[in-house]
A and B are shown apart, each in its own frame.
Chain A
């Protein structure tokens, strides 16, 4: 099987599976069918690793028309890395929240839910693979619709209101995106990322008002479309089980898509010369990142609820990613790679663990942690691993991320101001690790309870899946390092 055919299978597999799921009665096997499809997609992505490493890009461009949908694609190092991460995160989320979601589903609804989930996966894969602005818009719309469709299954008035607000924001953002894409098409007659990135003076040479308008529209659209954290902040303690699923989808997968598109638009659309040399956006970006990190670090310090802590940890990560984009050096971009790993593996690990606490004890408060130590070893061990991950212990993804970030900031100049953010963030990590240890070893008064492992099967499998992925990064650090170097070199080579 050639690389091209593998990518085409990857593109159309979820779509065909969604149709299959909708039309063929599978009784109680919808979940396993969806799960198998996700695994197959993941393995297909893994199988492309040698080609990506040698060719850096697998693409097929027919120069067809404005809308070629999945027929044209471009899989580069950036897209490959995000594909790996996001499909893996999708698998974990699907597996872990299976029982929570299925409580709300009849057999007929299950059919709809899983086919929508597969459509969502189809949209996600295509967002990462497409090389055309209008295709991107279409897939973003499919992604938004499917996400909204999934959120309706909660049957919770409050949650539906939030989902509707999210959908409205999405629509506004989509309109802004459409305006921008149309402007680019009308002004420059280009809709392909390769053509746009080939002309480095495209934005610099045009009217500055138009360039700035496009930039402003795109920034606003990305902010409200991919990072609407504030919407879910208020509802994070909601006891509706679907809430956690939706927050996980929104916080980890949707945000990662946002980061991917930010990177893509910075390097392949505007170009670093226009953004950082002509407009000098690196300074405001770094300052914004520092403020975001400090704000979130204070949040970590103040919060006692594990899910809220997790959101703040995600925000710290996002801050560092933005800062690294602002620094746009080799080490900074390597740091982006490791921060993304941390974002999608470690922070998801935190979130899954918090949801488990909520399910088991009715709250994800840190105080509840001491109750878990009486459980089975397989349940307790992930908790102890969290200490290493929270404290940015040597050889964890966060450690490598911090290492590269510190490396990038240790220069005379404005970069060094990021050291403040690094110190503040590590202050929060240290505090979190200390609180974790206190919570784990606090002398609890509750009577020991026994727990059936079968009850928490999905939790166990999801957590150990994440642990295995993290261990993979730790033990095959040379592999991760090589991929990160490729990732950074690729972005800088544009």
Chain B
């Protein structure tokens, strides 16, 4: 029975997809659907012991690394399932249904990717994910956003070709040999091909040419974070650990390769930071913030892979948790703004105290507020930079933290400023409904607590 648990893990989100696609009048079916993420999480807890005692599963690759990703994915699905209850109440049934189907699909595919033992199989599921993402983009988004998303999904297709080339190169270079016997040059070619195969679509800040995207925060979260970034980062970390091995990765990256990547990230983070700080409109600012953080987390993973391998997960966990909390809070705020008669952020703290506090907290967390998990990540980064005198990396961290602090300060200033006129009773009721909604509150607080317990999480890893 234990052998089939990984298969069941893939089947659960797919079952979620099927249940979401049914028109569910039946109360028990709806309840069952809501409990699927909990079952998923419970199985992961059960599997944990098995992995501890017996190592990897036959037919799947389920070791500690995969389990960390799966726990993270399970947690994200769980909080999303709770959070989306509210989203479903406020949106049309069809739209909510489609969103839930897509999330179920993404979780299933990501589980398959994470469990995949064979690189070709991982590539197959990754291609499925790209295709699904595009279908989602075309069906779910407004026409004005399609221009940007069309380019993005096209780049996703295109980047998968580099992934394909990386697979061919791996097969070719490792014919009758092991990865340890590869020369540094060949290893570098492979690593860069994988890198471009997974992150080509975000390596150039082409998003700055699209000044119109007004994408809903929850869609940005599902589309860009869950379906793209999370999957790509997990595959990349898995490759670094399982295919290359952390020692060999460090050997490959040290030197010119790392400097080249440093320069690429410096440029990207600088541009994204400028756009985050200076853009107007809450949706657009957080859209740019997402990209800025994505660049940073990729940089952080590569940095740790080069200098302190066992910390390689830290960036991903910090990024996932903080981004989740940020986008849930922003989603609540935009929901309130769309429902109320006021369309300004000024004085919002007095109407949505919980949401605005959590938002500022999560931004401060990724900037490095002590004792969050973001602070531990930044501390480790700065420690290594100090020891190794890596000045480009130091500038990257400085720019990232400064931009986040300015952005958080700007938000804080807007939220705590007083409005000239009084808020109507109707708006206050609406704000209270959103801010004190049990599912939203529970989700957000749970995420915030986990971010706060950074030290504890680091110890487990």
Contact = CB atoms under 8 A, between A and B. Distances in A.
B442 interface: no
B150 interface: yes
Interface string B19-57: 000000000000000000000000000000000000000
Nearest to A387: B131
A407 B161 contact: no
Interface string B94-136: 0000000000000000000000000010011001000100110
Given A393-B127, A433-B157, A441 B171 contact: no
B365 interface: no
A198 interface: no
Q: Range of interface residues on chain A?
A: 20 to 34
Interface in A400-444: 402-403, 406-407, 410, 419, 422-423, 426-427, 429-431, 433-434, 437-438, 441-442
A437 B134 contact: yes
Given A391-B131, A393-B127, A406 B164 contact: yes
A433 B169 CA distance: 25
Contacts of B168: 403, 406-407, 410
Contacts of A434: 134, 150, 153-154, 157
B184 interface: no
B459 interface: no
Contacts of B172: 407, 410
Given A426-B161, A438-B138, A441-B139, A407 B171 contact: yes
B54 to A, nearest CB: 31
Q: Is the interface of B mostly helix, strand, loop or mixed?
A: helix
A388 B160 CA distance: 14
B335 interface: no
A313 B65 CA distance: 42
A394 interface: yes
Contacts of A437: 131, 134-135, 138, 153
Given A410-B172, A437-B134, A437-B138, A391 B157 contact: yes
Contacts of A410: 165, 168-169, 172
A289 to B, nearest CB: 18
A127 B127 CA distance: 41
Interface in A164-196: none
B158 interface: yes
Contact of B127 (A394, A427, A431): A394
A489 B24 CA distance: 58
B120 A394 contact: yes
A261 interface: no
A395 interface: yes
A403 B157 CA distance: 16
A493 B246 CA distance: 44
A430 B151 CA distance: 11
Nearest to A409: B168
A402 B164 contact: yes
Contacts of A431: 154
Contacts of B120: 394
Given A394-B120, A395-B124, A430 B157 contact: yes
Nearest to A425: B161
A26 B146 CA distance: 57
Contacts of B169: 410
Nearest to B168: A406
Given A394-B127, A407-B172, A430-B154, A441 B161 contact: no
A161 B150 CA distance: 43
Contact of B150 (A388, A399, A419, A438): A438
Contacts of A406: 164-165, 168
B224 to A, nearest CB: 17
Contacts of A387: 131
A423 B146 CA distance: 25
B14 to A, nearest CB: 19
B139 A426 contact: no
Contacts of B123: 394
Contacts of A429: 157
Nearest to B161: A426
Contacts of B146: 438
A395 B165 CA distance: 15
Nearest to B189: A410
Nearest to B162: A423
Interface in B140-183: 146, 150, 153-154, 157-158, 161, 164-165, 168-169, 171-172
Contacts of B150: 434, 438
A323 B196 CA distance: 26
A423 B157 CA distance: 12
A402 B168 CA distance: 10
Contact of A426 (B131, B134, B158): B158
Contacts of B161: 422-423, 426-427, 430
B124 A427 contact: no
A6 to B, nearest CB: 38
Contacts of A430: 154, 157-158, 161
Nearest to A438: B138
Nearest to B156: A430
B138 A441 contact: yes
Nearest to B121: A394
B158 A427 contact: yes
Interface string A322-358: 0000000000000000000000000000000000000
Nearest to B175: A407
A403 B146 CA distance: 32
Contacts of B171: 407
A437 B156 CA distance: 14
Contacts of A394: 120, 123-124, 127
Interface in B171-220: 171-172
Question: Which of B120, B134, B168, B171 has most A Cβ within 10 Å?
Answer: B168
B43 to A, nearest CB: 28
A438 to B, nearest CB: 6
Contacts of A423: 161
A425 B5 CA distance: 41
Nearest to A393: B127
Nearest to B126: A394
A406 B166 CA distance: 10
Nearest to A442: B138
A393 B123 CA distance: 10
Q: Which of A406, A419, A422 has the most CB of B within 10 A?
A: A406
A337 B165 CA distance: 20
A426 B146 CA distance: 22
Given A394-B127, A430-B158, 20 more contacts: A393-B127, A393-B131, A394-B120, A399-B164, A403-B164, A406-B165, A410-B168, A426-B158, A430-B157, A431-B154, A433-B157, A434-B134, A434-B150, A434-B153, A434-B154, A434-B157, A437-B131, A438-B138, A438-B150, A441-B135
The 8 closest A-B pairs by CB, nearest first: A430-B157, A406-B168, A441-B138, A426-B161, A394-B124, A434-B154, A430-B158, A410-B172
Interface of A: 387-388, 391, 393-395, 399, 402-403, 406-407, 410, 419, 422-423, 426-427, 429-431, 433-434, 437-438, 441-442
23 contacts: A387-B131, A393-B127, A394-B120, A394-B123, A395-B124, A403-B168, A406-B165, A407-B168, A407-B171, A410-B165, A410-B168, A422-B165, A426-B161, A427-B158, A427-B161, A430-B157, A430-B158, A430-B161, A433-B157, A434-B134, A437-B134, A438-B146, A441-B138
